[in-house]
Structure 1
Amino acid sequence: MDHSAAVGAVRKLLDRHAVGLGERGRRCPRADAAERVSREIHRRFLRRFVDRGDRVLEIGAGVDRFTTELAARGCRVVVTDSSSARLAAHERRVRATPAERAVLRREVLDGTDVSRYADGEFDAVLAYGGPLAAAHRGAATVLRGLLRVVAPDGVVVASVPSQLGAWRHGPHLDGDGRPGERRYRWSDVVALVEEAGGRLVDGSASNWASAGEPEWLADVAADRDRWRRFLEREVAACAEPGARDGGPRILFAARN
């Protein structure tokens, strides 16, 4: 399947899943505590690198993955997703909130191709969980494109699926991911940024201790003080170089 056909197939799939998303709650009630930890780590990581007032290209925004967080930081956001239905759901959710004032525009975008944007048009690109997992395009070319559209002192904040993390928590799996999806080791991320001509700033796992023992974690989440203490320790653990392969996703920040 060529690139255009693959993108079309993915868009149709996302459009089907997007129906009704705008009317549902931001989090699924059944979402487990590990996913709460993952989202918090993603949120804290972007806050380290995306400055207040930045002009941001958000790739794969979904129904509202991090637009509200960016808006809370006073950012101006170009919201994109490969699915028009998801963008419509995003608009239904966000337009009734103060975060809508931060949205410059919404655009359907295949995140592997940002050629429509000018060099240095943005202060930051947020590409959590999207274009770099697509195996049908050269990942270094994709990242090079993301780096091109940020200013000289700008940053690309991204996440990719973890090969070893998936295998660690699902030993029955081979860690290679779904067809059409590339999974990474931390060493792959280091090599990817170098090949793209960027400079790796920092990285993190999405989870460490929180990726296992869901019943224990649910008990911790039920106690506000224990949960706060656990989050602080977990965020610090995920940032350790030896832990970056240990969660379902790897986060990283890169500059030109």
Structure 2
Amino acid sequence: MPSDADRTRQYYDALGEREWTRLTDSVAGRVAFEVHRRFLARFVRAGDRVLEIGAGPGRFTLELAALGARIVVTDLSPVQLELNRRHVGPTDAERRVEQRIECDVRDTAGFGDGAFDAVVAFGGPLSYAFEEAEQAVRGLLRVVGPRGVVLASVMSTLGTWRQALPSVTGVAERVGDEVNDAVLADGDLRLIDRTEHACRMFRWRQLRDLVEQAGGRVVAASASNWASLGDPSVLEPLERDPDRWRHFLDNEVGACAEPGALDGGTHLIFAATSAA
């Protein structure tokens, strides 16, 4: 039986170019990208050295370069690393890339203490660490040291339930309510036999506890979506009007940061520093 890391690698190898379009092929995806992008811009400054974990084909590599960061690009999937090279390589952003390395979020031992000003692990790398998630967060905090920041997002249990309710009810019919309830409680999709995409989703309180157990503290948090998860037919006309769209995004970003909304998006976004 393949390991969790092998399954994740195989999943993203097979996903290929679809990972590049994931944040652009729907209104909700484009909103999630903008919420992540603005969150990133709050913490990364020109000249910062950034370790990008799970960089994929380069959506956020390009954003980090635009902010003036120096980037070490990593991914568990060699296919995604090659796509990163293909999408970023022909652009001016390539000058900001120091190197590309295959790397698992659970193993950052090859990087020195405090070697980076920030770690960016957007899109869910920590959701694939499973039982080693605490070790993974400790490693990320170590490589940024006491003055650095870890910026990451994980899959949201309740937001996914909200967004994918037809699929969730279908799974419950197939595997039974007991298994489905266990997934809702713990977020671990490995509990579902033959699931194509095995990952660990989180509730906000579980994520906060994980960071604290790893020796960190959360300094900012956001959902990736709120109002934008529903009614794409309402949002599409707004998106065609730049002024109205900007106004909607401002309101959406504000809503996503409200404590009562943190569990409401497909992903939970957070910034963490060392508690020491």
TM-score (norm 1): 0.91
- Find runs of 4+ consecutive structure 1 residues off by over 4 angstroms: none
Count of matched residue pairs: 250
Mapped to 1, the partners of 2:188 and 2:27 lie a distance apart of: 23
Query: Which among 6, 11, 15 is matched to residue 17 of structure 1?
Result: 15
What amino acid is the match of 1:240?
A: E
Residue correspondence of structure 1 range 47-196 to structure 2 within 5 A? 47-134=41-128, 136-172=130-166, 173=168, 174=180, 175=184, 176=187, 178-179=189-190, 180-196=198-214
RMSD over aligned CA atoms reads 2.0
The Cα of 1:65 is off from its aligned counterpart by 2.1
**Partner of 2:229 in structure 1?**
211
Unaligned 5+ residue runs, structure 1?
Answer: none
Seen in structure 2, the aligned counterparts of structure 1 residues 247 and 30 have a Cα distance that, compared at 3 Å, is closer
Q: Distance in 2 between matches of 1:185 and 1:25?
A: 24
Give the match for residue 7 of structure 1: 5
CA change 1:136–1:233 in 2 (3 A) is closer
- Counterpart-to-counterpart distance in 1, 2:262 and 2:23: 28
Which residue pairs with 2:215 in the alignment?
Answer: 197
The CA distance in 1 between the partners of 2:153 and 2:200, in whole Å, is 12
Partner residue in 1 for 2:174: none
Partner of residue 222, structure 1: 240
Judge conservation of contact 2:23–2:33 (CA < 8 Å) in 1. Answer: no
Q: Secondary structure at the match of 1:110?
A: coil
Which deviates more from structure 2 when the two are superposed, residues 6-15 or residues 210-219? 6-15
Structure 2 residues without counterparts, runs of 5 or longer: 169-179, 191-197
Q: Give the share of equivalent positions with the same residue, in percent.
A: 50
Q: Please report how far the alpha carbon of residue 12 of structure 1 lies from its aligned counterpart in structure 2 after TM superposition.
A: 2.7
- The one-letter amino acid of 2:14's match is R
Match runs of 1:237-248 below 5 Å: 237-248=255-266
Q: Residue 73 of structure 2 aligns to a residue in which SS?
A: strand
Does the 8 Å contact 1:59/1:130 carry over to 2?
Answer: no
Native 8 Å contact 2:156 2:201 kept in 1: yes
Structure that is richer in helix per residue:
2
SS at match of 1:71: helix
The amino acid across from 1:36 in the alignment is R
Letter in 2 for 1:11: R
Tell me the distance in 1 between the aligned counterparts of 2:145 and 2:24: 40
Change (3 A) 1:135 1:25: closer
Moved more, 135-144 or 148-157: 135-144
Deviation at 1:135, TM superposition (A): 5.2
